[in-house]
Amino acid sequence: MKATLCISGLILVTIPLVASGQTSFSVSELEARRKAVLERVPDGIVVLRSYSGLKHWDESGFQQDSSFYYFTGLPNAHGAILALDGQKKESRSRYDSRF
């Protein structure tokens, strides 16, 4: 009985985590990640697309590029681009709704 109660409690706690599917990040953490890249590329530009290529035949749904997600926290940004400009020390994103 006690084991069943513990398992039920664990299931109730983990359902919201599984349902969300993505970890949320604070804005300051995402800014710190982009700032770290800008410091490593002081005279260049880093461009990241929201998806990096075709899926394998056994994968379903949209596959967000992990690098794009790491720097933006956006899990389902179809047709988006993030540009990190080392000279201007700023980042810009562009979203095209046609995709």
Model confidence at 95: pLDDT above 80: no
Q: What is the side-by-side strand order in the sheet with 90-95?
A: 45-49, 80-85, 90-95
Q: Which of 91, 89, 61 is nearest to 76 (CA)?
A: 61
Q: What is the pLDDT of residue 83?
A: 92
Q: What is the pLDDT of residue 97?
A: 55
Q: What is the pLDDT of residue 32?
A: 93
Q: What is the pLDDT of residues 17-73, one digit of tens each?
A: 444 455 677 889 999 999 999 999 999 999 988 886 666 777 777 777 888 888 888
Q: What is the pLDDT of residue 96?
A: 66
Report DSSP letters for 2-24, one per residue: HHHHHHHHHHHHHHHHHHH-S--
Q: Domain extents for the chain?
A: 25-95
pTM for this entry: 0.62
How crowded is residue 85: how many other Cβ atoms within 10 Å of its Cβ? 15
Q: Which of 81, 85, 72, 86 is nearest to 31 (CA)?
A: 72
CATH of domain 25-95: 3.40.350.10
